[in-house]
Amino acid sequence: MPDREITGHLFVLTHDVEMPHAPTAARPEALLVDRIADGDEEAFNELYRMFAPMVHGIVLSRVPRDEADDVVQEVFIAAFRSIGSLRDKNAVGPWLAMIARNRSVNVFRNSRPSVELSEEMAHRDDPNSVEANEIIAVIRTLPDAYKETLVLRLVEGMTGPEIAKQTGLTHDSVRVNLHRGMKLLRQKLGIEVK
């Protein structure tokens, strides 16, 4: 290819890259953020209903079940207080996820020593509940990316696209994290895959 053709193609490519992009359309949660900033309490309730399962899943992947609900409440209180500092209103899901992760870390920093349940007390619980708690404990040993997506999928019942949309992860990242996380979870639980 002659030099002139190559430079012509480079110019065209450069020209395409430099063109301004159309502004991104506001997502429904961005509109809620505007309403919240205007003092609309019902808008905050809608935001809570929209993102509470995601926040709960992230928190549950990091803290004991009996503390998770309190941490979720702390996350939304913190979000309410600082919603005006949110720069990208379309990114409210990832912003809430970050607050949830940070609050969960603070629980461990400020936690008091816990008391182990005796064998007798553990057997009095519902067997399904004990098994679920054991599985969640195993999930918590996995890398962060895997444990979050697994809890969001298995405990909160969110689909892969819902996880991606609310956390700001790509669909491919969620799919890979779920696949690899399930593989690791099965290995740790001793479940053979046929």
Comparing 15 with 52, which gets the higher pLDDT?
A: 52
What is the predicted pLDDT for the residue at 116?
A: 44
For 9, how many CA atoms within 13 A lie in the half-sphere containing its CB? 5
Mean pLDDT over each residue of the chain, to the nearest integer: 81
The three-state secondary structure class of 142 is: coil
What is the predicted pLDDT for the residue at 121?
A: 41
pLDDT, one tens digit per residue, over 46-91 is 999 999 999 999 999 999 888 999 999 999 999 999 998 899 999 9
What is the predicted pLDDT for the residue at 106?
A: 85
1-9 — which CB contacts under 8 Å span 24+ positions?
none
Please give the average per-residue pLDDT across 180-187, as a whole number.
Answer: 92
pLDDT band of 133, cuts 50, 70, 90: confident
Check: CB of residue 86 under 8 Å from CB of residue 92: yes
Residues 6+ apart with CB under 8 A from 139: 61, 146, 147, 150, 151, 154, 181, 185
Comparing 115 with 27, which gets the higher pLDDT?
A: 27
Domains of the chain: 26-111+118-189 (1.10.1740.10)
pLDDT, one tens digit per residue, over 27-48 is 888 899 999 988 899 999 999 9
pLDDT band of 126, cuts 50, 70, 90: low
101's enclosing H/E stretch is: helix 92-110
What is the predicted pLDDT for the residue at 12?
A: 41
Please give the average per-residue pLDDT across 148-167, as a whole number.
Answer: 92
DSSP-derived secondary structure letter, 62: T
pLDDT at 16 over 70: no
What is the predicted pLDDT for the residue at 111?
A: 61
Please give the average per-residue pLDDT across 2-16, as a whole number.
Answer: 43
**Range name among 10-19, 138-147, 177-186 with the lowest pLDDT average:** 10-19
